[in-house]
Amino acid sequence: MATTDLIPRGDMPFDAYQSNLINQCTTNQVAWGIVLAQLTGLGTFQTTWSTAYGLCKNKKNATTVQRNAKNAAKKAFIAKLRPFIQTQIQYNTTMTDAQKLLCGVKPHAGKRTPVPTPDGRPVMEAKQGVGRTLKISYKQQIGSDGSSRRGKPDGVQKCLMVYFIGTAAPASAEACTLFKTMSRTPITMSFTAAQSGQRLYGFGCWVNTKDQQGPWSEMFVCTIP
């Protein structure tokens, strides 16, 4: 759970964390709309923890019994803090994100940004490889948004390539009967001796993480070695 991760594990950081959180909530209880009964319910656990922790600050003098009591007090206190943080701070609509941060609670991220349908077109290229192989690659168009012209744009999961092998070019991408899914670039395609000398016509398009396709690229053409 995210709240669990927010609570420090070490005794000293935990002590500072819980002290600040409860002090902030006590000072601003009315303004933040924190349920008083929920807040006061933490008092006994905080006192038990503070007493037990105080006896163990000098590790050389702390006994095994005292350390065990400190660990038990911390465990019980955290078990009460987690639901309090969730209900009274994390999902408290009265509090602003800045106020939650004052308590040491990182606000939940807002709604995820919708993944847009790709609107750019990949630049496809084919080069002869070793033997009867072709290396097919894609890259972004010059001026496209994204991390690299050699990679995929932001939000794009893969490149879909459709192609046709024959002597006459297909009328469109939709007329191509074969396809390859490319999550990396380049890929190597192997061909048979019977296909050697024929032409490969292809198109590519970006596909986002929701499997939505963008527009097709310009057709690329190459001869199978």
The answer to whether 130 and 137 are in contact (CB under 8 A) is no
Closest CA to 77 of 21, 2, 1: 21
Q: What is the pLDDT of residue 146?
A: 47
Domain with CATH 2.60.40.10 in the chain: 123-223
Q: What is the mean pLDDT of the segment spanning 166-188?
A: 91
If you average pLDDT over residues 133-150, what whole number do you get? 74
Instruction: Spell out the alpha helix ranges (H) of 117-219.
Output: none
pLDDT, one tens digit per residue, over 85-115 is: 988 998 888 899 999 999 999 887 665 667 7
Q: For the stretch 25-57, what's the b/e string if a residue is b when 16 or more beta carbons lie within 10 angstroms of its beta carbon?
A: beebbeebebeeeeeeebeebbebbeebbeebe
Sequence-distant (6+) residues with CB within 8 A of 97 are: 107
What is the chain's mean pLDDT, rounded?
Answer: 89
pTM of the model: 0.50
* Model confidence at 147: pLDDT above 50: no
Q: Looking at the DSSP assignment, which residues form a beta bridge with residue 93?
A: none
**Which listed CATH number (2.60.40.10, 3.30.590.10, 3.30.565.10, 3.40.50.740) goes with 123-223?**
2.60.40.10
- As a whole number of angstroms, the distance between CA 50 and CA 74 comes to 9
| Torsion from C-alpha of 66, 68, 70, 76, nearest 10 degrees | -150
DSSP 20-87: HHHHHHHHTHHHHT--HHHHHTTHHHHHHHHHHHHHHSSTTT--HHHHHHHHHHHHHHHHHHHHHIII
pLDDT (tens digit per residue) in 4-31: 457 888 999 999 999 999 999 999 999 9
